Amino acid sequence: MKVLVAVKRVIDYNVKVRVKPDNTGVDLANVKMAMNPFCEIAVEEAVRLKEKGVASEIVVVSIGPKACQEQIRTALALGADRGIHIESDEEVQSLEAAKLLKAVVEKEEPKLVILGKQSIDSDNNQTGQMLAALTGMAQGTFASEVVVDGEKVNVTREVDGGLMTVSLNLPAVVTTDLRLNEPRYASLPNIMKAKKKPLDVMSAADLGVEIKPRLTTLKVEAPAARQAGVKVADVAELVDKLKNEAKVI
C-alpha cells in the first residue's frame, strides 16, 4: 500500500514570532524554520505503518519555496522513501494546496493520504477536508489512532464529547492529532542516506493548477501584552474587583 504524506515548512515552534514593522505579516528574516509539528506526527504514523508491513512505500510532498526541500529531506531521514517538491514562491492558501495535492494524488494513486490536522502558522485546519472533498475520498480527521484492516482504515477521532471511531473505505484521507504518536528523531546515518533518496521537483503549472490567493491579509498585529496580576486581601475584595473593575460578574 502506498502512503502519501504532506508536510509544511513553518517557523520553529520554539521561536518567538515577530511582526513586521509595517504590520503586513510575520517577519521571516533569519528565523529558524522547521517541519510543522502535526506533519511530523503524520510522517511518524506512515513510518509505523511501513514497519508493521502495512505500507510498502511512503511518498512525502511539500509545497513552497526551494527551502522546503530541507523538510522533505528530514521526512526522508525519518523513513520516507521518496519526495515530491511543488516549488512556488507565491503564497499558497488552503484551497490551492488541496488542489495541488489532488493532482499529486491522481498521479501517485496512494491508498492512504496522511496530513497534519493544521499548521501552526495559519491554523486553518482546512486542507485535509478540502482534499477529501475534491478527490471524493473518505476522511477521518483529528486522528488519535489509525488501524488499517484490509481495504478499510479505522480512525479514532478526538471530538468535543470524547472519542469517535469511524471505519473508512480505502483510499482515504486522515489528518493527525497530537495524541496519535510521538515522532522519532532522525539518526545521523539516516540523514546521510536521505541525501541519496529521490526527490522530484515540479511546479503548480506542471500539475495544471493556478495559484491565485482568494484571501488578502489586511493587517497583522502582535497580541496585546498581558497586564501584571494583583493580590487581594480577602474574598470580598476579589468579588468587588471582579464586579466593578473586570465587570465579569
pLDDT in tens, 149-162: 999 999 999 888 88
Nearest 5°: CA angle at 238, between 235 and 242?
Answer: 140
Task: Say what the pLDDT of residue 80 is.
Answer: 97
> Which residue in 98, 112, 128, 126 sits closest to 209, CA to CA?
98
Q: For the segment 185-237, what is each residue's pLDDT rounded down to a tens digit? A: 999 999 999 999 999 999 999 999 999 888 888 999 888 888 888 899 999 99
198 preceded by cis ω (within 30°)? no
Bridge pairing between strands 138-149 and 172-176: parallel
Task: Say what the pLDDT of residue 5 is.
Answer: 98
Q: In the numeric block, which cell numbers belong to residue 165? A: 471511531
Report the half-sphere exposure of 186 (CA within 13 A, side-chain side): 21
Task: Say what the pLDDT of residue 229 is.
Answer: 85
Q: In the numeric block, which cell numbers belong to residue 205? A: 503549472
Task: Say what the pLDDT of residue 126 is.
Answer: 95
Residues of the chain falling short of pLDDT 50: none
Task: Say what the pLDDT of residue 129 is.
Answer: 97
Q: For the segment 185-199, what is each residue's pLDDT rounded down to a tens digit? A: 999 999 999 999 999
Task: Say what the pLDDT of residue 30 is.
Answer: 87
What CATH number was assigned to the domain covering residues 2-244? Answer: 3.40.50.620
Task: Say what the pLDDT of residue 247 is.
Answer: 86
Task: Say what the pLDDT of residue 11 is.
Answer: 94
Mean of the per-residue pLDDT values for the chain?
94
